[in-house]
A and B are shown apart, each in its own frame.
Chain A
Amino acid sequence: MTAVAPLALPTLPAAFQQSTVDYLAILPLLIVFGTALIGVLVEAFAARERRHAIQVTLSVVGLLAAAASIIVAAKHQGLTMGLTDGSTNRQLFALAVDGPALFMQAAILLMGVLGVLTMAERFGGVGPDAFTPSGASTPGSATETAAARAGALTSEVFPLTMFAIFGMMLFPTTNDLIGMFVALEVLSLPLYILSGLARRRRLLSQEASLKYFLLGAFSSAFFLFGTALLYGYAGSVYFGDLSKAIASGPLAMNGLLVPGAFLVFVGLLFKVGAVPFHAWTPDVYQGAPTPVTGFMAACTKAAAFGAILRLAYVGLDTGRWEWTNALVLVALLTMVVGSVLAVTQTDMKRLLAYSSIAHAGFILVGVLAFDRKGVGAVLFYLVAYGFSTIAAFAIVSLVRQNGAEATHLSQWAGLGKRFPVVAGAFAFLMLAFAGIPLTSGFVAKFGVFSAAIGTGGATGTVLAVVGVLCSAITVFVYARVIVLMFFSDAPDDAVEVVIPSVSTTFSIAIGTLATLALGVLPSALLDLADRASQFVR
C-alpha cells in the first residue's frame, strides 16, 4: 500500500487571538438593538391599553439616544470587531466605523424618528391607524372582524421597525460581504412583514408583501452567490483583502471576479430600486401602509446606498473598470425609466415610487463620480431626499375619502383651494423633488451632477446631461400634481384632509422645514457630509 499523502490543512494561527471590539464605537448599534429587544418584552408583558404609548416612547427615546451616542462613536472611528492576523498582518475586521458609516447611521436614526412618529398616528383609535389589528387573518374574514371588535392593536410594528433600523445602520457599516448579507436580511425581514400590515386594501398590501419577499429573497440569493464567487476569487470576504486581491490577481481569474461583482451589485441595486431591478418598487410602495412606505423609501435607500458606496469605493475599487460600465448603464436606465414612467402614473403612491426610482438614478450618478466630492454629494442627497419623502408620504396618509386614503390623482383636484396649508406643503415638497432652487432637492442634484462632471470624465458629463434632461421630465410630473391641487376645481365628492395628531404634524413640519433649510442654508450639512466622506480601510 502506498502511503496516502496527508491532506494539506490550512495553517492555523499559532495561538488563539481574541478579536477586539470597541464597544463605544458600536454604541449606537447596541442601543437600537437593545431597544428593539426591550420592545419585544413590552409586547409580551405590558397591558394592551398602555402598550401603544410605551412602544412609541421607547422607540423614539431609543432612537434619539442612539443618535446622541453617534457623537461618542465619532471619537472612536476605525475598524473594529475583529483582529489583525499576527502572521500575515491582515486586517480582519467585520465593522468599519468611519465617516460615511456614522453619517448614514445618524441620518437613518433621525429619519427613523420621523418614520416612527408617522407610524404612531392613531386618529383617535386604539392602535396605530395604518396597521391592521390582525395581520395573520384573512382579509374580510370573521377572525379579522373579531380581532377589530376585541380592540386588538398592532403595536409590534415598533419593535419590527427598530430591528429594521438596526439592520439599516449595520448595512453601511459592515466591512465584509458576509456581514453585509446579514445586515441585508436583518433590515429586509421586518420590512416584508410591515409591508403586509395595511389596515385598508389588505389584499393589495399582502400582495405587496409577498412580492417584496419573493423578489427580495431572489436578490439575496444573487448577493450570496456573488459573495461565493468573490470568495472563490480572493479567498476572503473582507473588503480589504478583496481590494488587494483584485489589484494583484491574474486576469485569468476574471471569470470569477466579474460575475461575482455583478451579482453582489444586483443584490444591492435591488434594494435601492434601480432599473432593471425596480419592478417591486411601485407595487410595494402602493400596497404597504403609507407611513411604512415613507420610512422605507427614505431609510432603506440611505442604508443601501451606504453599502453600495462602501462596496464600490473600498471593496471593489481596484476592479472598477470591470463593472463601471454596467453601473453607468444601470444609472442611465434608472433615470430614464423612472422619470418617463412617472409621467403616466395616476396613483399618488405609485407616482412617488417612480419618482424614487428616478432619484435612485440621480444618486447613482453621484456614486459614479468616484471621488470624495461624489461621496459627500451622495450623503447629502440621501438626507435631503429622505426628509422630503417622509413628509410627502405622511401628507399622502392624511388625504382621505370615507376614511380610506385617497391616492388616486384625480381625487386630489382642488385640494389647494380647500386645504391651502397641507397642499402648500405638499407642493413645496414636489418642487424639492423637481429640483427647483431654494429647496434641498436643488442643492442635492447640483452636488451629484457637479461631482459627476468634475471627476467623472466624459461619462460623468453624459450622465449629468441625461440626469438634467430627466429632471426636466420629472418637473412635468410634479407640476401636474400642483396643477391638480391648485389650478383645478374640486369634484363634488371632494376628499378631506384629516387633522393629524401632534406626532404626524411634527414629522411633516420637520420634513418640510428641513427641505427648506437645506435648500437655503445647506453649507453646514454639506460641510459635515464632506468631512464624513473618507472611508477607512
Chain B
Amino acid sequence: MTAMSTVPWLTILGLIPLVGALVVAFVPGSAENAKRMAIGFSLVTLVVGIIAATQFDRASSAQFQLGEQHSWIPQFGVSYALGVDGIALVLILMALVLTPICLLAAWHDVPEEAGARGGQRVKTYFALILVLETFMVGVFAATDVFLFYVFFEAMLIPVYFLIGRFGGPRRQYAAMKFLLFSLAGGLVMLVAVIALYLQGPGGTDGFLIERLTGLSLDPTTERLLFVGFFFAFAVKAPMVPFHTWLPDAATESSPATATLLVGVLDKVGTFGMIRFCLQLFPEASTWATPVVVALAVLSVIYGALLAIGQTDMMRLVSYTSVSHFGFIVLGIFAFTNVGHAGSTLYMVNHGFSTAALFLFAAMLVRRRGSKRIPDYGGWQRITPALAGIFLVAGLSGLGLPGLATFVSEFTVLVGSFPTQPVATVIATTGIILAALYILLMYKRVMTGPKPEGLVGEREHDRLDEPGRRGLTAVRDLTTREKLVAAPLIAAFVVLGVLPNIALNVINPAVDKTLAHVQQAVPTLNPAGTVAEGSSK
C-alpha cells in the first residue's frame, strides 16, 4: 500500500539535479561558475530532500509514503510509481548529502584545458555527477519493478563515462569491466523481471511492487526468479566472487566517482536484496540463506585479508568495502528485525565512512602524486590536520565505539547471532582484521620519520634559509578540504552517538518487510528469539 502525496516530492528531488546537469553542461560561462552552480543545485536538492523527509510519517501503516503513480507504458504494465519507506528514505538522504560533498571534493579533479572549449570537460564532469544524483534518487524511490530496472541500468551510463573519461591510466579497461559486469548481472535480472510480471496479476499496472508482493509462486519458479534478481544484486553489492570489477573501477576513477560508486551505487545491490529478493520471494530467500550467508562471511574475511595485502590506498579502501558489504548481507539474510535494522544503518554509515576514506586518501594522493602506500611515511609530522581526519575516518571504518560504524556493526552481529551463530562468530573476526588493515595503513602512511625533502606549510616562509634549500613545503588542509571533511566527521559522531534518529525511521520499514517474509514462511521468527519447542 502506498500513501500518495499531494506534492510530487520525489519527482522534484530527481528533477532538480537533472535540470542542474543541463544548466551546468550547456550554459556558457567559465568552468568555475559551472562548478559553483553544480554545488548550488546539489545543495538545493539536499534542502528539498530534508523538507520532503519531514513529510514522512513514521507511524504510517502504509508501506510506501510520498507516493506518486502515473501510467507510463500500460502495454507492458509499467507505471511511473515512486514512493519511499524508511530504508529508501535514509539511503536517499545519504546520497543527497554525499553529492555536494563529492562535488566539493572534485573541485580540482579535472584540469581545465587551454583553448576556447577548455572548460567544457570540467562542465561535463560536474554535469555527469548531477545526472547520477537523479538516477540515485530514482533507483531508491521506484516502487515499480520495471522503473527500478530502468534506473538500475541507466545509471551505469553516467558512471561509465565518469570512469572512462576522467579516470586514471587504466580507465578504459576499468570502465569496460565495470559496464560488462553490471550489465551481465542486469540482463539476467531482466529475464527475471519479465518472468515475474507474467507470474503476477498482469494488467496495466502489473509491475507495481504491491501487485507482485505475496504471490503464491511455484517453488521452483520462485527460486529461479530469486536467483535472477540476486545475481544482479550480488554483482552490484559486490560480493565475492563477483567483486573483481570493484577494485579496478574504484582505483581508476576519480575520488568523487569512486565515492559515489562504492558509497551509494553499490548500496542498490543490498537495498535490492531487501526490497526485491526478500519481499517478493520470501520462501526462496530462506531457501537460499545458507549459500548467501556463506558468501557473505567469505566476503567479510576474504575482503579484509585482501585489504591487508594491498599497497595501493584506493584498492585497499575498495577491498574494505567488500568486507563491509559482507556484514550488510549477513544482517539482511539473518531475517531478524535487529539484523535488518543494523544492515540498513550499516549502509548509511558505510556510505559516509567510505566517502571519508576515499576523499581523505585522495587529498594525500594529490599532495604526494602517488597512490602507493610505501611512498608515504611520517606525514603526520608535516600535515597534522590531514593525519587527524584520516585517523578519524579510519577509526570509524574499523568500528571504534562512539563512531558510526560501530553501532551498525554491533547491531548486525547481535541481530545475526540468534539465527546464524556460526557465521556470526566467523564474521566477528572480520572486525579484528579491520583494525589490522586500517591501523597498518595509518602506520605506514602517517607515522615514522619525517619524509625526506618535504616540510610542513608553517615552514613555507623559511624555505630560503640556508640548510633548507631544496625542500618543498606541503600544505595542510585547505578551507575547501575542511568543508569536505567537516560534514563527514559530524555524520560519524552524530550517527555514532544518536543512531536512533536513523533507526526510528528504519525500524517500521524493517518490520513491514519481515512481516511479508513471515507471512510466507511462518516458521521464521523475526524477533530473533529462539522459539519455544525448537531444539537448542
Interface string of A323-348 (1 = CB under 8 A from B): 00000000000000000000000000
Contacts of A480 in B (CB 8 A): 176
Please determine whether A469 and B76 come into contact, CB atoms closer than 8 angstroms: no
Please determine whether A523 and B72 come into contact, CB atoms closer than 8 angstroms: yes
For window 174-191 of chain B, which residues contact chain A by CB distance below 8 Å? Answer: 175-176, 179-180, 183-184, 187-188, 190-191
A376 — nearest CB in chain B belongs to which residue? B75
Does A527 sit at the interface, judged by CB under 8 A? yes
A431 — nearest CB in chain B belongs to which residue? B157
Main SS at interface, chain A: helix
Please determine whether A437 and B154 come into contact, CB atoms closer than 8 angstroms: yes
Does A472 sit at the interface, judged by CB under 8 A? yes
Does A282 sit at the interface, judged by CB under 8 A? no
Does A447 sit at the interface, judged by CB under 8 A? yes
A434 — nearest CB in chain B belongs to which residue? B183
With A476-B176, A483-B164, A483-B172 in contact, do A468 and B190 touch (Cβ < 8 Å)?
Answer: yes
Does A276 sit at the interface, judged by CB under 8 A? no
B189 — nearest CB in chain A belongs to which residue? A468
| Bound complex: CA A450 to CA B76 (Å) | 9
| Bound complex: CA A57 to CA B120 (Å) | 40
B71 — nearest CB in chain A belongs to which residue? A523
With A475-B180, A483-B164 in contact, do A437 and B175 touch (Cβ < 8 Å)?
Answer: no
Please determine whether B188 and A453 come into contact, CB atoms closer than 8 angstroms: no
Contacts of A376 in B (CB 8 A): 75
Please determine whether B76 and A447 come into contact, CB atoms closer than 8 angstroms: yes
Please determine whether A436 and B153 come into contact, CB atoms closer than 8 angstroms: yes
For window 465-481 of chain A, which residues contact chain B by CB distance below 8 Å? Answer: 465, 468-469, 471-472, 475-476, 479-480
| Bound complex: CA A526 to CA B73 (Å) | 8
One of B154, B164, B175, B190 near A438 (C-beta < 8 A): B154
Interface string of A480-494 (1 = CB under 8 A from B): 101100111000000
One of A420, A472, A479 near B176 (C-beta < 8 A): A479
Most interface-central of B71, B160, B180, B187 (chain A CB within 10 A) = B187
With A450-B197, A464-B194 in contact, do A472 and B120 touch (Cβ < 8 Å)?
Answer: no
One of A438, A453, A469, A471 near B194 (C-beta < 8 A): A453
Interface string of B145-182 (1 = CB under 8 A from A): 00001110110110011001100000110011001100
Please determine whether B183 and A449 come into contact, CB atoms closer than 8 angstroms: no
Contacts of B190 in A (CB 8 A): 446, 449, 468
Please determine whether B153 and A530 come into contact, CB atoms closer than 8 angstroms: no
Contacts of B76 in A (CB 8 A): 446-447, 450, 526
Shortest Cβ distance from residue A112 to the other chain B in the assembled complex, whole angstroms: 26
Contacts of A488 in B (CB 8 A): 172
| Bound complex: CA A475 to CA B156 (Å) | 12
Contacts of B160 in A (CB 8 A): 479, 482
A523 — nearest CB in chain B belongs to which residue? B73
Shortest Cβ distance from residue A521 to the other chain B in the assembled complex, whole angstroms: 8
Does B432 sit at the interface, judged by CB under 8 A? no
Shortest Cβ distance from residue A193 to the other chain B in the assembled complex, whole angstroms: 40
Shortest Cβ distance from residue A435 to the other chain B in the assembled complex, whole angstroms: 8
Does B426 sit at the interface, judged by CB under 8 A? no
| Bound complex: CA A476 to CA B252 (Å) | 19
Please determine whether B197 and A471 come into contact, CB atoms closer than 8 angstroms: no
For window 363-412 of chain B, which residues contact chain A by CB distance below 8 Å? Answer: none
| Bound complex: CA A523 to CA B195 (Å) | 21
Does A194 sit at the interface, judged by CB under 8 A? no
Interface string of B440-475 (1 = CB under 8 A from A): 000000000000000000000000000000000000
Please determine whether A453 and B195 come into contact, CB atoms closer than 8 angstroms: yes
Give the B-binding residues of A (Cβ under 8 A). 376, 420, 431, 436-438, 442-443, 446-447, 449-450, 453-454, 461, 464-465, 468-469, 471-472, 475-476, 479-480, 482-483, 486-488, 522-523, 526-527, 530
Give the A-binding residues of B (Cβ under 8 A). 71-76, 120, 149-151, 153-154, 156-157, 160-161, 164-165, 171-172, 175-176, 179-180, 183-184, 187-188, 190-191, 194-195, 197-198
Instruction: Provide a sorted-by-A list of 6 A–B residue pairs whose CB atoms are within 8 angstroms.
Output: A437-B150, A446-B76, A453-B191, A472-B184, A487-B175, A530-B75
Closest A-B pairs by Cβ, 5 of them: A437-B150, A487-B164, A526-B75, A450-B194, A468-B187
